């Protein structure tokens, strides 16, 4: 138990060290995926109902202010599509921060089913974001999905179809 707690505390300390940068990167990406006016707040400690302090990562989304919405809403309260876009933003931001701190540059990214639960407009925003990300950062980005996604934003499409003779690969430029 001593070592488990110790490693958890070290991990939380390291996360605390980069949490400000992570929050800034996350907030910069939100508008690029269609969540204009939203922001995120990462906290490493929270007060429990009993008044004690619990260490861990808490993610709170701050939507654009509207008169009938509270000023902050816990991550778990969002719809499937909103939550999926928020997951993508969080993963991209965390990846950027960790790679930067490790001194690593990657020219390849793979997104596995990023459009799951996302509306048609959300998928368009996501594809536009990935296109711009690939262009501005000179990356090759693969979007892997079980549904056929039609978009003029893609540089090309590779389709894999299972047949009785095995899988067939079709490439469109």
Alpha helix segments (H runs only) across the chain: 2-30, 80-102, 120-136
Question: Residue 62: its pLDDT value, please?
Answer: 82
pLDDT tens, residue by residue, 11-67: 777 777 788 899 999 999 998 888 888 888 888 776 778 888 777 777 888 878 765
pLDDT tens, residue by residue, 68-88: 655 667 666 777 777 888 889
Question: Residue 134: its pLDDT value, please?
Answer: 92
Question: Residue 120: its pLDDT value, please?
Answer: 83
Phi first, then psi: what are they for 59, rounded to 5°? -110, 125
pLDDT tens, residue by residue, 101-135: 889 999 999 999 888 888 888 888 888 899 999 99
3-class state of residue 42 by DSSP = strand
């Amino acid at each position: 138990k001593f070592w488990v707690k110790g490693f958890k505390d070290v991990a939380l300390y390291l996360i605390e060290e980069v949490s400000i940068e992570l929050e800034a990167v996350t907030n910069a990406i939100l508008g690029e995926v269609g969540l204009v006016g939203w922001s995120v707040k990462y906290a490493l400690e929270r007060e429990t109902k009993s008044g004690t302090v619990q260490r861990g990562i808490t993610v709170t989304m701050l939507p654009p202010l509207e008169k009938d919405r509270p000023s902050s809403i816990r991550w778990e309260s969002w719809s499937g599509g909103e939550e999926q876009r928020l997951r993508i933003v969080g993963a991209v931001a965390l990846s950027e921060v960790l790679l930067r701190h490790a001194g690593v540059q990657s020219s390849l990214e793979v997104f596995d089913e990023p459009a799951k639960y996302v509306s048609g407009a959300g998928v368009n925003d996501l594809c536009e974001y990935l296109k711009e990300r690939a262009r501005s950062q000179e990356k090759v980005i693969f979007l892997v999905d079980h549904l056929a996604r039609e978009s003029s934003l893609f540089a090309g499409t590779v389709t894999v179809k299972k047949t009785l003779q095995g899988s067939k690969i079709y490439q469109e430029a």
